[in-house]
Structure formats: C-alpha cells, structure tokens
Amino acid sequence: MNVCNKNYVRYKDKRWTWLAFSPTINGAFCKNCVLFGPKFAGRAQQKLQSLVLTPFAKWKDDTETFNNHQNNKYHINAEQTIYSLRSIKNGESMDTIRIIDTGKQELVLQNRSRLTPIIDAILVCGIQGIALRGHRDSGAIYDNDNNNNDGNLRAILRNRSLGDPILRDNLLNCPKNATYLSPIIQNEIIYACNELILKKIITNINKSPYFSVLADETTDVSGVEQMSLCVRYISLDGDIQILEEFLQFIPVMDMRGEALAKTILLNLEKYKLNLNLMRGQDYDGAPAMSGHLNGVKAHILKKYPFAIYVHCASHSLNLAISDSCALPSIRNSMAIISKIYDFFKYPKRSDVLNRTISMNAPETHHQKLKKMCPTGWVYVMIQFRHL
C-alpha cells in the first residue's frame, strides 16, 4: 500500500465520509462533487481542481483542505442532490420536487430583487426625459469620484441604495458579470419597455372600427434617415375620443414613394393592425409622399382604396406661417418686439416694469417679458388655430 493510500485509510473513518481514493490515479477525490458537482464555481467561475477534477495528494494540507472543501456551496449542493436521489429511491419524491422548486423560486426572487430597482430607475429617466449614461458608464458603482459624471442611472441607484440595504448589498457584492448595469442590459430593458408600451397601444387601436396612418421622414443627428410612424384612431372606451399615438421610428434607405409605401405597410402588418380598416393617409406635400402617380399615397390607394389621402393641415399651416414671416409688416413687428425685450432686460428697467405691472395688473402672475422666438410664434399660431 503506497503513502497516499495509507493516508486515505487513516482519514476514511473520520469526519469526511465523502472522501474516496482512486488507486489508478493514486489520489483522493470528493465522490459527491465528482458525480454531481460543477466544473466551474465561484464569482469568477473558476475551474475546479483538487478533489473534483484532479486528485488530492498533498496530505500535509489535508485537514485545512478538507474542511474548506466541505464548506463550499457547490459541495453542499452536491450533497443535497445525493440526499434528493435517496429520497426518490425511498419513495419521498414529493419532498425532492419541493426542495428543487423552493431553490428555484428563491433564485428567481433574488434575481428579481437585483433587477427591479434598475428597471425602476430606467423608467424614471425615461419619464423625465433625461439621459441614462454619462461620460463614464463602467466600473464599480461606488468607486465613482465627484469629477466624473457616470450618468443619471447610476446616480439614482446610488441615492436609492442609501435607504435600501438589499439594493446596496446587491450592488456591492453581486458578481462583476451580473451587475445588470451595462449599456447592453440597459438597451435590452428599454427595448422590453418599448415592446410592452407598443403592445398596449396596438391593443387599443385594434378596438377601434377605423384608423388613419400618419408618417413623415427626416434625418437624425447621426445622418440616418428615419420615418416617424403614427396612427390616428377612434377610442370607444367611455366617451368617444379621437386619439393620436406614436408607434415607432423606422430607418429607411430608399426614399422613393413605392419603397416608403412598402415600409409603412410592412410595419403596420408587423404590429398586427388590420389594414382593411385603414381609412386615411396624412403626409406632407412632398412629391414622394403626395404624388398621384408614384407617391406613397398612390401606392397605398392601389391596395386599400378607402385610405383617402389628406394633406397634413399642420404642415400647410407651417408653410403659410413661414411665408408670412417674410412679409415686411410681420418681419418689422417681430423686430420691434425683440427690441422691446432687449430694452427691458437690464435690472433697473426690469424693476420699473415689474412695479408697473404690479400696480396696473396685480392679478397677473407674469412679471417678465419673454424673448421673441420665431418657432415659438409659430407654436402660438398653431395653438390659435385649434381655438
């Protein structure tokens, strides 16, 4: 009997009943972990070696090694698996199923407790219309110094963790490959939110007897041509209302009328809208959209003759206002209003204006003049149109 085998016999009848010796390999193994243990474990998913994939033969370190091994989580799980198999053999399979379900449920709840605050923070940023990311969006969340802006999402989570010990523990002790804070995960959560919102909008549209499609295309800051796709429909929930909902931005590569019409119809079909209920088209007056031979309206009318084209009234009003701004009388009046604002923007004159307003119109809450903005004037005119 060699030295390794003698040491194994010496320890076999003591505390480590899971110990087994292989004469062929000339080393000791944990029989539980060899049969039911993983190949990788730990936060960094390190490959297991001694007692699992490789034999143990350093008997001078035996006591410490064996004690550490039997306290490992993967070893405890392997023992639990053996216990479950013995329960099945003894007719106690219901206990095994309960144990497995309980462990799975605990894991699900733990993962949800980590992910839920992150989803809530992303929703807050979306509702407030603020960016998620900053100049640096990586590294440990609590290693940030005041000189680096790592984004609103991470700042919200740090602030929330001050009163949430579970969230703080997750952010401090979660594995580095499972923080759920990377830009990829953020985009996946945003995409999931988009799918849920879009599904709800489509459900409401499908309850309507008819709808119209609205579309316009423009180039974004990255140079990609995108089409905004909206739907106008009748809501029958409670009081009858005419609602307008934005669906999606759709990248387009071909700006011909036929290609744009195909893009619109394919996306409406993808959203599972009944196109036979389409009763209107609303675009601007560009030839690619409104052309009666090869425009978007013409190609859609060929397939859905009840989808009548109407030139967008807001576009028409915008064109009319833009042309009117070039008239001398309007141009001069806008210049005079701008000069009046410049005259009263200094502190002494502004104070005189405020006291005059307080004496002559004490009921008003407006105390300052607003700077003349051409686009703001266009907005006022559009609002006036709806009165």
Look up the pTM and report it: 0.58
The pLDDT score that the predictor gives to residue 93 is: 53
What residue type is 274 in one-letter code? N
CA separation for the pair 65, 50 (Å, rounded): 9
381 near 373, Cβ under 8 Å?
no
| Model confidence pLDDT, tens digit, residues 193-209 | 999 999 999 998 988 88
User: pLDDT over 70 for what percent of the chain?
Assistant: 86
Q: Which of 120-124, 241-245, 290-294, 331-335 has the lowest mean pLDDT?
A: 331-335
Q: Does the structure show a pLDDT above 80 at 321?
A: no
CA separation for the pair 147, 106 (Å, rounded): 39
Give me the mean pLDDT over the 40-50 stretch: 78
Name residue 187's beta-bridge partners. none
CA separation for the pair 274, 268 (Å, rounded): 8
The pLDDT score that the predictor gives to residue 265 is: 92
Q: Alpha-carbon torsion 10, 15, 99, 168, what sign?
A: negative
DSSP 294-351: TSHHHHHHHH-TT-EEEE-HHHHHHHHHHHHTTSHHHHHHHHHHHHHHHHHTSHHHHH
DSSP 111-132: HHHHHHHHHHHHHHHHHHT--S
**Average predicted confidence (pLDDT) for the chain:** 81
Phi then psi dihedrals of residue 248, to 5 deg: -155, 160
CA separation for the pair 373, 231 (Å, rounded): 30
- Look at residues 79, 105, 83, 103 and name the one whose alpha carbon lies nearest to residue 92: 83
The pLDDT score that the predictor gives to residue 50 is: 83
Give the range with max mean pLDDT: 147-161, 289-303, 321-335: 289-303
What are the domain boundaries of the chain?
A: 3-86, 105-181, 192-311, 317-385
Other C-beta atoms lying within 10 Å of the C-beta of residue 30: 25
| Model confidence pLDDT, tens digit, residues 58-96 | 877 788 888 888 888 888 888 888 877 777 766 655 555
Name residue 15's beta-bridge partners. none
The pLDDT score that the predictor gives to residue 1 is: 45
Q: Does domain 192-311 have CATH number 3.30.70?
A: no
The pLDDT score that the predictor gives to residue 189 is: 92
The pLDDT score that the predictor gives to residue 387 is: 46
The pLDDT score that the predictor gives to residue 378 is: 57
Q: Does the structure show a pLDDT above 50 at 3?
A: no
Q: Does the structure show a pLDDT above 70 at 12?
A: no
| Model confidence pLDDT, tens digit, residues 272-292 | 888 888 998 888 888 888 888
Q: Is 359 helix (H, G, I), strand (E, B) or coil?
A: helix
Give me the mean pLDDT over the 143-153 stretch: 73
Q: Is 87 helix (H, G, I), strand (E, B) or coil?
A: helix
The pLDDT score that the predictor gives to residue 191 is: 92
